[in-house]
Each structure stands twice: as structure tokens, then as C-alpha cells.
A = this chain, B = another copy of it.
Amino acid sequence: MKNNFEEYYDLMLKNIRNGAFLTVADEERLNTMTIGWASIGHLWGKPIFTVMVRKSRFSYQLIERSNEFTVSLPAEGQLKKELIYCGRNSGRDVNKFEECGLTPVEGRVIKTPVIGEAMLHFECSVVYKQEMDKINLDPVYKDRWYSDDDYHTIYYGEILSVYLNR
């Protein structure tokens, strides 16, 4: 089956380091957090978007319940303050959507919303996940990112929909 998802991989991968919004929601709660890491590809015969969430995060509780997520990339130079705010604050303490004036817009395929003010959206359903095991991690990476033992869970999401802002 041919889709046009691949056209947008490049845009996401070239800009992910500047920050994107990872949005998660369960039945009652909604949150978004800033991510600067992601991987995209073709695994298990499907388009797959990989994200990482530390167990300490509020978003971790939500994605564990919903098994889905969206990633919304701002246009170049846009939403910089919002990305900083959503990276520094926890959804446990604040409603980031209200604080930043971000609009949750209903997903086209999944229940989790996307960020209305952003440019490019990926909607993904988690098909595999795994908690990191420090045994097989390069010691330099371990010291750099996990000195507090707060390891990531890696979520592999089947990409179900990709689109530019509407």
C-alpha cells in the first residue's frame, strides 16, 4: 500500500532537534511535552515513528494507558517559547495548553489530539514498547543521560496519518 507519509519524514528529522510536541491523552487527562529526539523508518513492514519517554514523566502515565501518541512539529522559528515552557514544566502541575495558548485539535485517526498551532502532524498507534535495559547501553551514553537511573521507555508507533496544518 502506497502512502505519502515518506514525503514528510525529512521535514521532521531535519527539525526534530529544535523541538516538537509529543502529545498524549487518556480518558480524562491530556498533556504535551517537548521532545528533541525521534527516529522514523520502516520496521515490521510498516511506517514507524519512535519516541522515548522517561518513567518519571507525567506523559508516561498517559501513554501507558492510551497506547497512542501524536507528534506536532512547529514551522521554522515558531512556538519557541511554547516549546521551552512545555519542556520545563510538568503536566502534573500546570495545564500547558492553557498556559501556552495551545489548541488541542482532534486527531484524524486516533483519539489523541494534535497541536493546532503547529505545522506538521504525525498520528501514531503504539505497536511495540520496551523499557531500556542499562546493561546494553554504551557507558558514555549512560553517564551523559541516565546518572539518575531515570531510564526511557522506547515507544514504536505505527504511523497512521501524517499531514500539514489545516
- What CA separation (Å) do A39 and B39 show in the bound complex? 6
Instruction: Check B36 against A42 for contact (C-beta < 8 Å).
Output: yes
Decide yes or no whether A53 CB sits under 8 A from chain B: no
Q: Categorize the interface residue count of chain A.
A: 35 or more
Q: Report if A39-B50 is in contact (Cβ < 8 Å); known contacts: A9-B13, A137-B127, A141-B128.
A: yes
A contact face: mostly helix, strand, loop, or mixed: mixed
Query: Which residues of the partner chain B approach A44 to less than 8 Å between Cβ atoms?
Result: 37, 141, 144-145
Contacts of A144 in B (CB 8 A): 44-45
Q: How far is the CB of A87 from chain B (nearest CB, A)?
A: 14
A138 vs B39: C-alpha distance when bound (angstroms): 19
- Name A17's contact: one of B42, B50, B130 (CB within 8 Å): B42
* Closest chain B residue, CB of each to CB of A134: B128
Chain B CB within 8 A of A28 CB: no
Number of copies: 2
Distance (whole angstroms) from the CB of A142 to the closest CB of chain B: 9
Q: Contacts A136-B128, A136-B130 hold; do A40 and B13 have CB atoms under 8 A apart?
A: yes
Once A39-B40, A39-B43 are accepted as A-B contacts, the answer to whether A130 and B130 lie under 8 Å apart by CB is: yes
- Tell yes or no: A133 within 8 A of B by CB: yes
Chain A, 14-31, contact with B by CB distance < 8 Å: what is the 0/1 string?
101100000000000000
- List residues of A whose CB falls within 8 A of some B CB: 6, 9-10, 13-14, 16-17, 36-45, 48, 50, 52, 126-130, 132-133, 136-138, 140-141, 144-145, 158
